[in-house]
Amino acid sequence: MKTRSDETRIVTATKKDIPLIREFILELAEYERALPGEAPVTEKDLADTLFGKRPAAEVLIAYLGDRPAGFALFFHNYSTWLGKRGIYLEDLFVRPAARKHGVGFALLRALAKIAMDRDCGRVDWSVLNWNELAIDFYKQIGAKAMDDWTSFRLTGDTLAQIAGRKSKVK
């Protein structure tokens, strides 16, 4: 899949893009103020989960000219109320030098086209409360904040405890 927005080109990632995808993930983790080691993702992890037997997610890569500028990683969810699949945008990241050039919008537009082509009922994502730049951008394009919802997460030792298993976290 390829779309163009001025000089921005959006492509569907392939296995050869794994090192670049990992770079984007680590840059995003740094931007989101993650502590060292909080994003231990490896190229093998990405090969297995994105391009293995049962891919868990898909990735779009944005190029500004011929330079990698950003990425969007997404997967399908399901809405019982709509009775349709949706898309959950796990990560949207644009490198600082590429911001204000329409790259983020081009990625969202490509994702919206995928959602429409696949008869999805909606696209959802989360944003950190302190990321006012992103929040302002999302509001500007017409996205609605889901203020009545609070996100929760089980991970690490707590996830293992709830599952009745020993933690794999060291």
What CATH number has the domain bearing residue 66?
3.40.630.30
Whether 10 and 110 have beta carbons less than 8 Å apart is answered as yes
Range of the domain at 81: 2-125
- Asked, for residue 167, whether it belongs to a domain, the answer is no
Residue 3 has pLDDT above 50, yes or no: no
What is the distance between the alpha carbons of residues 88 and 75, in angstroms, rounded to a whole number? 5
Question: Tokens 């976290």 map to which residue?
Answer: 169
pLDDT at 18: 98
Structure tokens at 155: 């991970």
Instruction: Identify the CA nearest to 111 among candidates 76, 146, 154.
Output: 76
Position 142 in a domain = no
Element (DSSP H or E) covering residue 97: none
Mean pLDDT calculated for residue range 136-144 = 94
Compute the average pLDDT of residues 75-86. 97
Alpha carbon distance 23, 126 (integer Å): 21
One of 63, 78, 88, 138 is an active-site residue; which one? Answer: 138
Q: How many domains does the chain have?
A: 1
Within a domain: residue 159?
Answer: no
**Would residue 25 count as lying in a domain?**
yes
pLDDT higher than threshold 80 for residue 170 = no
Q: Residue 6 falls within a domain, yes or no?
A: yes
pTM check: above 0.75: yes
Confidence band of 56 (pLDDT split at 50, 70, 90): very high
Q: What is the mean pLDDT of residues 132-142?
A: 93
The pLDDT value given to residue 35: 87
**138 catalytic residue (yes or no):** yes
The DSSP H or E segment spanning 161 is helix 156-163
Least confident of 49-53, 74-78, 109-113, 144-148: 144-148
- Indicate whether 37 belongs to any domain: yes
Q: Considering the domain boundaries, does residue 152 fall inside one?
A: no
